[in-house]
Amino acid sequence: MTRLWFVRHGPTHAKGMIGWTDLPADLSDHAAINRLTLHLPDAPVVSSDLIRAVATADALADGRPRLPHDPTLRELHFGDWETKAFAVVEAEDPHTIRAYWETPGDVAPPGGESWNAAAARVSGAIDGYLAQGLPDLIVVAHMGAILTQVQRALGITGYQAFGHRIDNLSVTDMAWDGTWAVGRINHKP
């Protein structure tokens, strides 16, 4: 059995849709970082290659083995919508943005990726780690990437997955032993 400990990176304080835009994380809440570090198992740590996830993973490593940054664990790719506010995109392309969020699947932002493409990308990465047979793995990633795995583990739709909150510096834990078991989603130690 492998237990996966998905941690969302520290906050960026950005107001727009931030997917592959490389913004730093605010890791000034040292008490929250310490609580999170103490909550996590002594296990290898992997992160997306975006600086906000890398810095968060480095802050949590605390002597844990650090695996190479993995670009397949990145956030959803919003393409032409990157850094724009929802209201701005809705004014420009109301049909596409509503379809993207309300019926997540094959609809993609212009120049970006669909929910299904992101889910396949992240699931492929997680499958590779599961094949290694590690008992525990800490994965520092992004809201969308984590939600793809919540969808997968719970067997729910993308729309239902979007109903779950994934706060910054929260933990979502699940286990794989031939079937998925989901522990706590969006736990704040």
- Joined tokens for residue 183: 């522990």
What is the pLDDT of the chain when averaged over all its residues?
Answer: 97
Residue 161 lies in a domain: yes
Domain at 82, CATH number:
3.40.50.1240
Q: How many domains does the chain have?
A: 1
Residues 177/6, Cβ–Cβ less than 8 Å:
no
Does the pTM of the predicted model rise above 0.95?
A: yes
Residues 172/160, Cβ–Cβ less than 8 Å:
no
- HSE at residue 164, side-chain half, CA atoms within 13 A, is 23
DSSP letter assigned to residue 6 = E
Q: Which domain holds residue 46?
A: 2-182
Cα 66 from Cα 118, distance rounded (Å): 24
Residue 47 lies in a domain: yes
Residue 189 lies in a domain: no
User: How many helices and strands in the chain, by DSSP H and E?
Assistant: 7, 5
Residue 126 lies in a domain: yes
pLDDT by 10-residue block (mean), the chain, 189 residues: 98 95 97 97 98 98 96 98 96 96 95 98 98 97 98 97 97 97 97
Q: Which residue has the tokens 């605010």?
A: 26
Residues 143/9, Cβ–Cβ less than 8 Å:
no
Residue 21 lies in a domain: yes
Please give the pLDDT value at position 133: 94
Residue 110 lies in a domain: yes
Q: What is the pLDDT of residues 8-41, one digit of tens each?
A: 999 999 999 999 999 999 999 999 999 999 999 9
Residue 120 lies in a domain: yes
Burial of 32 (0-12, 13-18, 19+ CB in 10 A): middle
Please give the pLDDT value at position 179: 96
Residues 2/135, Cβ–Cβ less than 8 Å:
yes
Residue 159 lies in a domain: yes
